[in-house]
Amino acid sequence: MSATSTLHPPGRLARFARLCWRRKAASAGALITLLMLLVAIFAPWIAPHDPNEQDILSRMAGPSADYLLGNDTYGRDILSRIIWGARVSLFIGVTAIGAAMVIGGTLGVLAGYFGGKLDRLIMAVMDMLLSFPSLVMGLLVVAVLGPTTLNLIIAIAFTAIAPFARIARAPTMAVKQRDFIEAGRALGYSDLRIMAVHVLPNILDEIMVLGSLWLATAIRTEASLSFIGLGVRPPTATWGGMIRDGFENMLDAPGLVIYPSIAILIIMVALNLLGDGLRDATDPKLRHE
């Protein structure tokens, strides 16, 4: 059915690239995020040492030629642990937000598309989920299920579903009124097909913008849970866990907490720049600013 392809907004990728270009801050954010992703993916090749290798003689040693950022309380290389920690944080963040996007987005589209009782039910449940402070909710979920990577993903995704449902619902209701949806119905397309092929591409922008902002929140939540002691179990290197371990000894070796903190800050600032830039660029009110 070639007619359907003309219904899509043309060149999503091209538009995205143009928007990024227009916003220098957003592209800086995108670039740093991409670099961090590459570091996370290629950690085994980039890290100068095994993150769990203990050099007992260099416990809490300062920076040296061999260990650029020094060693932690077990004599492990801080730099290598930060590089491997990027893996954990980004993997959990991206997976959790991906899951929240899919589940929340689907619920929002269903609510917006069918309206009526289903809409009221879904949105009432979302309102309930929004009533929980997300860190405390995540904390209880991980405490109850146990601190594994999968459970952290579930906990963080759980706290992020409602915002995605909300953001997907409003544009779905607007798109539903448009002529091409009516045309699709007249051609006898099923609801499922209309939602997947015609509604979804039209609301994807907003979901992606929210996704980049929530990725920052997800990474912050993961780091916070690790700091509280509910992160992926040791000896796995996580940024929050490194700060937790270094906290007791931060007077003797401030690097133990400062270097992983900087890593977290860099990714947080980058994601916020990216998300803000995308939001400004896709917000029609601000487009001509």
Partner 1 sequence: MLIYALKRLLVAIPTLLGVLTIVFFLVRVAPGDPAIVILGESASQQAIEQLRQQLGLDQPLWHQYLDFMTSILQGDFGRSMISNQPVLQEVWRVLPYTIELTLAAIVVGIVLGLPLGVIAARYRNTWIDFSIRFFSLLGLSFPAFISAILLLLAFSIQLPWFPVIGEASYADPLKRAAALVLPALNLGLIMVAYITRVTRSSMLTVISEDYIRTARAKGVPARMVVWRHTLRNALIPIVTVIGLYLGVLIGNSVLTEMVFNRPGLGKLIVIALNSRDYTTLQAMLVIYAMVIVLANLLTDLLYGVIDPKVRNQ
- For tokens 């977290």, what's the residue? 264
Smallest CA-to-CA distance from 141 within 123, 130, 157, 125 is with 157
Give the shortest CB-140-to-partner 1 separation in angstroms. Answer: 5
The DSSP annotation for 102-123 comes to HHHHHHHHHHHHH-HHHHHHHH
Q: Which of 118, 136, 150, 174 binds partner 1 (CB under 8 A)?
A: 136
| Identity of the residue, 96 or 216, whose beta carbon is nearer to partner 1 in the bound complex | 216
Among 8-16, 75-83, 93-101, 272-280, the segment contacting partner 1 (CB under 8 A): 272-280
Separation between Cα atoms, residue 46 and residue 235, nearest integer Å: 19
Give the shortest CB-85-to-partner 1 separation in angstroms. Answer: 14
- For tokens 């979302």, what's the residue? 126
- For tokens 């991206």, what's the residue? 94
Separation between Cα atoms, residue 279 and residue 259, nearest integer Å: 30
- Going by the DSSP 8-state scheme, the letter that residue 254 receives in this structure is T
| Identity of the residue, 179 or 285, whose beta carbon is nearer to partner 1 in the bound complex | 285
238 scored as a contact of partner 1 (CB under 8 A): no
Give the shortest CB-161-to-partner 1 separation in angstroms. Answer: 12
119 scored as a contact of partner 1 (CB under 8 A): no
Specify whether the backbone of 156 is left (phi greater than 0), alpha (psi in -120 to 50) or beta: alpha
Neighbouring-strand partners of residue 71: 77
Q: Which of 10, 133, 188, 284 binds partner 1 (CB under 8 A)?
A: 133
Give the shortest CB-133-to-partner 1 separation in angstroms. Answer: 4
| Identity of the residue, 2 or 131, whose beta carbon is nearer to partner 1 in the bound complex | 131
Question: H or E element: which one contains 241?
Answer: helix 239-247
Site residue total, partner 1 (CB under 8 A) = 43
121 scored as a contact of partner 1 (CB under 8 A): no
Query: What part of residues 188-227 is at the interface with partner 1 (CB under 8 A)?
Result: 216, 220, 223-224, 227
Give the shortest CB-275-to-partner 1 separation in angstroms. Answer: 10
Separation between Cα atoms, residue 238 and residue 231, nearest integer Å: 8
Largest CA distance in the chain: 76
By CB under 8 A, name the binding residues for partner 1.
124-125, 127-137, 139-141, 143-146, 216, 220, 223-224, 227-230, 240, 243, 247, 250-251, 254, 257, 261, 264-265, 268-269, 272-273, 276
